[in-house]
Structure 1
Amino acid sequence: MTVYAEVIGDPIAQSKSPAIHGFWIEKLGLDAEYRAHHVAADQLAAYCDARRADPDWRGCNVTMPHKQAIMPLLDRLEPLAKRVGAVNTVVKASDGKLVGRNTDVAGFLEPLRLRLGETHYFRMARILGTGGAARAIVAGLAGEGFTLVLAGRNPDKARALLDELDSGGEHHVAPLDHFADASDFPFDDREGCCDLVVNASPLGMRGQPPLAFDWSHAPPGSIAYDIVTDPVQTAFLKNAREAGFATIDGLAMLIGQAAAAFTHFFGVEPPRKDDAELRERLAG
């Protein structure tokens, strides 16, 4: 029988995961499949039981709204998934147990690795949004020595998130609309610093309101990083480029987290030399 993995969520039709994993399966010539499977909240426990008993199932990616709800239904959680408080990848172990992992952190950090390998005397990230995606981003950047400014519609929620994920850090919160209007803050010489501005919210996604961010709030040399994937080139990134900042789009994180999951599912690394072709296929 052909082994398979899949992505689950509610809704699920919009997921790009089948295109990504299917591309790699095709390139490697694997006898495997990757599917999309709609699972409603009240079906999640039954889904886990059924897949635990399926010898051909290798695991699944987990998208909204199940990244936290699935955790108590699993047999084990890797330490990072416990720390983040969210699972985006479930793998069946050799003993048949379901193991919850988080590859969102690795996926988010992947396009930053060269920069993070440098020595900086200060690192700061402005993270816009306090939803599920922000959990992995906060955990990942805190682990890389960043001071964080977490902005949301509810600053109390932002503070609670920072206290949960990195209680010992000297982080800050701000209302999201603080960044909508121009600032005349006199940034100091940022040479030797690493500054990020991350849209971790759905704002700017197709069908969602735009993200209001004035780039006078970004220190010189900042990198703009938007995790939105539809559209890939958001107004947030366009405005950042026009203001002279480097940018990273949402496909970088999406492909990065998928690559880590693919290796867990099928026991081989995906052919990353073909990323440009994969991006063209996803854009099409």
Structure 2
Amino acid sequence: MKKWFAVIGDPIVHSKSPEMHNSWFQELNIDAAYLPLHVIPEQLEQAVKSLKLLGASGWNVTIPHKETIIPFLDELDETAKKMGAVNTVVRLSDGKLKGYNTDGSGFVHSLEEQVGTDHRDKKVLLIGGGGASRGIAFALKQFGYQDITITNRTVAKAQTIIYELGVGRAISLEEATESLNDFGIIIQATSAGLKSDFSLPISLDKLITGAIVADIVYNPLMTPFLEDAKKNGAVIVNGLGMFVHQGAIAFKYWLDEYPNTSSMIKKLTEQLK
């Protein structure tokens, strides 16, 4: 029986996951297909039951379902459990559904692929209090980044992640804007860049020249946040590398093969330009 996979989210039309995974299936001669499925929050439980009933071998989970999908899964791996967020679901041989999180490790792989590993002692400002932010925070700690500050519109959500992380601090968006010159790495980890009415979460006027600024949004490649950072002399890291690497790790969980990431990043970069 032909295997099939999917990505669920709301919105989903922007996703390049189907093209990426279907290309990898072709390259590796794997008889499988990957579909984009638009699932609104109210239909998430029904969607999970339907995916299981229809025999999906696994699927990716994107905004806004990364945290809310957890009650509908049978198991979580340790990383997903710590992060409280899932972006990859694997259908096990016994039919149970197991959740994983590849976002954080995918982000750090992408970051260090572009700027190297010599920046782990720099102060990091992480913007956002959702599942992606939590995943990146845990991965940063795992890779050796210890000075982590999280800022969010709702400071309590940022504080919850810091508490779970065991290191760092939570601050308001206003405080983050005022103290921006303290940070060598700034990571925009919200979905704001997907919206047509995007407004910068914080002002980048006090950004230090040469600071590393990353955005997890990959479509468009140059979000308004990155454009503003570039004007202020930052080193830019777009979200495409994270997207490809997290997808490759998910692919490995599903099919026990790690696909070619460098050619995929090059291919998608040319398209998105």
Relative to the length of structure 1, the TM-score reads 0.84
Distance 1:217 1:17, change over 3 A: same
Distance 1:2 1:137, change over 3 A: same
1 CA distance for matches of 2:158 and 2:129? 6
Q: Give the letter aligned to residue 91 of structure 1.
A: V
- The answer for the alignment partner of 1:20 in structure 2 is 20
Deviation at 1:215, TM superposition (A): 4.6
Distance 1:177 1:230, change over 3 A: farther
2 CA distance for matches of 1:104 and 1:9? 15
Paired residue secondary structure (2:170): strand
Identity score, percent: 33
Query: Does the Cα contact within 8 Å between 2:124 and 2:148 map onto a contact in 1?
Result: yes
Deviation at 1:241, TM superposition (A): 2.8
2 CA distance for matches of 1:119 and 1:175? 24
Query: Does the Cα contact within 8 Å between 1:103 and 1:261 map onto a contact in 2?
Result: yes
- The answer for the alignment partner of 1:278 in structure 2 is 268
Check if 1:10 corresponds to 2:10: yes
Check if 1:173 corresponds to 2:173: no
Paired residue secondary structure (1:123): coil
Paired residue secondary structure (1:13): coil
1 CA distance for matches of 2:68 and 2:194? 24
1 CA distance for matches of 2:179 and 2:122? 23
Q: Give the letter aligned to residue 31 of structure 1.
A: D
Q: Give the letter aligned to residue 247 of structure 2.
A: A
Paired residue secondary structure (2:136): helix
2 CA distance for matches of 1:98 and 1:29? 26
User: May I ask how many residue pairs the two structures share in their alignment?
Assistant: 269
Q: Give the letter aligned to residue 82 of structure 2.
A: R
- The answer for the alignment partner of 1:107 in structure 2 is 106
- The answer for the alignment partner of 1:190 in structure 2 is none
Deviation at 1:117, TM superposition (A): 4.1
Deviation at 1:137, TM superposition (A): 1.6
Q: Give the letter aligned to residue 132 of structure 2.
A: A
Deviation at 1:181, TM superposition (A): 6.0
2 CA distance for matches of 1:260 and 1:2? 21
Q: Deviation digits for residues 216-241 of structure 1, max 9, x if unmatched?
A: 244x5421111122321123223333
Q: Give the letter aligned to residue 80 of structure 2.
A: A
Query: Does the Cα contact within 8 Å between 2:8 and 2:36 map onto a contact in 1?
Result: yes
Query: Does the Cα contact within 8 Å between 1:128 and 1:199 map onto a contact in 2?
Result: yes
Task: Give the counterpart of 1:234 among 198, 211, 223.
Answer: 223
2 CA distance for matches of 1:119 and 1:238? 22
- The answer for the alignment partner of 1:38 in structure 2 is 38
Please give the root-mean-square deviation of Cα atoms over the aligned residues, in Å. 2.5
Deviation at 1:10, TM superposition (A): 2.8
